[in-house]
Structure 1
């Protein structure tokens, strides 16, 4: 009887542990909205109330403007992020696996990494024009630099014991790379993707503030000129939702691809 009770308690603990992030996240969201409403209701803040933002959200959604801006920003982020990540993975593997390639490439990576992508926006606009090219380029650069460093770190962090053991068993470099290095580096690569996504969204909003005719950053700039705080909040919330959804997709992929990794 005691063993059965202990098993039942363990099962419930596991179920509760799996659902805890969702429960805590919901509670945190409710508390945040409540604190926002209380701050505006008590006059402690000049921010628009949640109800005013919700009303403006409905207006922009019904007019179709919100979805057009979301599509414009999301398209730029997806293209720039995809191009940057696709290039970063092989370059990171090359740097981590071949010391000669690391010696040639790493100084340039470190040089551009300390330059904020936002600082390159004016140069990109002057050289590439004011259409989609400069926006996608700076997003590409932000995503590439985040992902390439993470991929490189994943390769050099592979336990040498595994590589030596594979060599002792007769495995060639190609087999070691595909069966040992790539799986061991996957968690680092996905972390780089998550960081790259954040950099991509920050960059696209800044690019749209400077030169754009559509997008969530452009909409915030227009709202700033006319002091439309609810519109600014709607754009911020839309960016947060899109970024959160994309981040959850990467986390889902991480759970599937690195299920062998121990987690706390």
Structure 2
């Protein structure tokens, strides 16, 4: 009688019977990512429900059904679509201007020492000031309306994205730049063929951070005498203690942020697919 050790193949006639291998994946690893998303949402709703029934938090966190019903309430008032569109225009405009300004400034700071020594201290200084602090100055200079909103968001996103892109360009391997110079490359060629590809991951990170900053500065931006907007409406609802629509608008801002984050990740995968990443 032949003794079969673990992992050894057994031949029966013309067939080879291979021992069954136990899967190394446990139960948690077998759960797909989409299922985890559903589980996470379920846990959040359960936690929300608990907050809605506790006496100390029920006024601040009304239940899911009341918040969902508040969508119809805001639509009946004729402000829901107007608020959403107004905030979206301000966010996209401010972020776009911030990115257009931050990209060349960051590259100039990283490439030329005089520019870095002059601009970087002021960027670091202003970056630590909350947008609410300089909103009155923006209103005095630009008046009320959409213009000061865009200016505030532009300043906030510009500062964050400039520092991120600048650090990315500064961290490029100098060996690559020196090798390009040895091969006779000019500044233009070095920028297009070495700096731009190498700094692209940092630019994508700056975009993701910039969208987040644009949303977090929305309340400050829309405190400039805005007549519509998600941030403006949250402040107005807080004055009347309408917690259901106020929580609805807060959730909408979060959803917009998640959408921007997903779009940025898709763009990042397309442009930086060559980069090794740890999931």
Indicate whether 1:131 and 2:145 are aligned.
yes
One of 94, 116, 122 as aligned partner of 2:130: 116
Q: Against the structure 1 CA distance between its residues 178 and 19, is the aligned structure 2 distance closer, same or farther, given a 3 Å change threshold?
A: farther
* RMSD value, Cα: 2.6
Mapping 1:225-240, distance limit 5 Å: 225-240=239-254
Quick one: structure 1 residues 62 and 262, their matched pair in 2 at CA, closer, same or farther if it must change by over 3 Å? Answer: farther
CA deviation map 1:129-151 (0-9, x unaligned): 11112111110000100111111
Change (3 A) 1:18 1:91: farther
Question: What's the counterpart of residue 186 of structure 2?
Answer: 172
Q: Does 1:39 align with 2:60?
A: no
Q: Name the CA distance, whole Å, in 2 between partners of 1:67 and 1:87.
A: 30
Closer, same or farther: CA 2–57 of 1 in aligned 2, 3 Å: farther
CA distance in 1, matches of 2:137, 2:154: 15
Report the alpha carbon displacement of residue 208 of structure 1 after superposing the two structures with TM. Answer: 1.9
Distance 1:31 1:18, change over 3 A: closer
Query: Secondary structure of 1:212's match?
Result: coil
After TM superposition, list the pairs within 5 Å mapping 1:214-225 onto structure 2.
Answer: 214-225=228-239
Q: 1:24 aligns with which of 29, 36, 41?
A: 36
> Could you list the runs of 5+ residues in structure 2 that have no partner in the other structure?
1-15
Measure how far apart 1:86 and its partner are. 0.7
CA contact (8 A) 2:107 2:165 kept: yes
Aligned match of 1:97: 111
Q: Distance in 1 between matches of 2:76 and 2:201?
A: 41
Q: Where in structure 1 are there 5+ consecutive unaligned residues? A: none
Query: Which piece of structure 1 moves more, 33-42 or 156-165?
Result: 33-42
* C-alpha distance 61-241 of structure 1, shift in aligned 2 (>3 A): farther
Deviation at 1:209, TM superposition (A): 3.6
Q: Report which stretch shifted further, 40-49 or 190-199.
A: 40-49
Choose 172-181 or 61-70, whichever is displaced more.
61-70
* More helix per residue: 1
Deviation at 1:19, TM superposition (A): 4.9
- Please, what TM-score do these two structures have when normalized by structure 1? 0.88
Corresponding residue of 1:79: 93
* 1:210 Cα deviation from its structure 2 partner: 4.9
Does the Cα contact within 8 Å between 2:131 and 2:217 map onto a contact in 1? yes
Q: For residue 43 of structure 1, report the CA deviation from its aligned partner.
A: 4.0
Is the CA contact 2:144–2:224 (under 8 Å) kept in the aligned structure 1? no
- Structure 1 18/186 Cα, relative in aligned 2: closer, same or farther at 3 Å? farther
Q: Which moved more, 1:75-84 or 1:203-212?
A: 203-212
CA distance in 2, matches of 1:131, 1:189: 31
Which structure would you say has the larger Rg? Answer: 2
Which piece of structure 1 moves more, 44-53 or 233-242?
44-53
Report the Cα offset of residue 166 of structure 1: 2.2
Contact 1:146-1:193 at 8 Å conserved across structures: no
Where 2:80 maps in the other structure, the secondary structure is helix
